[in-house]
Amino acid sequence: MAKKLNFVVFESVGGRFGTEFVSINKQAGIAFNSAFYRKHNLKNYSHIALSYDAANRAVGFQFSSTGKPRGTWKLTHLKSSANVMARSFFNACGLDPETLAGRYEPIEYKDFKLGKLFYIILPKQGAKKPAQPAK
């Protein structure tokens, strides 16, 4: 006699369940992959606040679900990921998204003043080149 089996159909084809990562693209977009999105329930958040620690080259992310708090960007939700366009952030911090484009491992952190946030460490290169004087 066969054992009683209880199969559950896997329906999350194309979803990433492995490594969480945050990516920066050349157009100054910041994206959160589906593993990060699912684990941290980003579907429950509508906005993101960005912060920068220049000494440690760390970019911080805090998610919010309460209206549009001052100093936040609206998260764009896709099927199982989210992103934000943050050109003004990169410009204000003197960071060049073209040289910083790539994947980064997010780290969870409890800041004394800001509370829970995630951050990524940027490589040494990636500063904007100074403007050349007109001739």
**Residue 35 tokens, joined:** 């593993």
Does the global pTM surpass 0.85? no
CB 128 within 8 A of CB 95: yes
- Please indicate, yes or no, if residue 12 is contained in any of the structural domains: no
Count of structural domains, the chain: 1
Q: Could you tell me how far CA 53 lies from the centroid of its own chain?
A: 16
pLDDT of residue 53: 95
List pLDDT tens digits, range 58-114.
999 999 987 677 789 999 999 899 999 999 999 999 999 999 999 999 999 998 888
Query: What is the rounded CA–CA span in Å between residue 115 and residue 112?
Result: 6
- Please indicate, yes or no, if residue 130 is contained in any of the structural domains: no
Q: How many CB atoms lie within 10 A of CB 115?
A: 9
- Please indicate, yes or no, if residue 93 is contained in any of the structural domains: yes
Query: What is the rounded CA–CA span in Å between residue 58 and residue 56?
Result: 5
Q: Could you tell me how far CA 30 lies from the centroid of its own chain?
A: 5
- Please indicate, yes or no, if residue 3 is contained in any of the structural domains: no
| Structural domain boundaries, residue 39 | 22-121
- Please indicate, yes or no, if residue 15 is contained in any of the structural domains: no
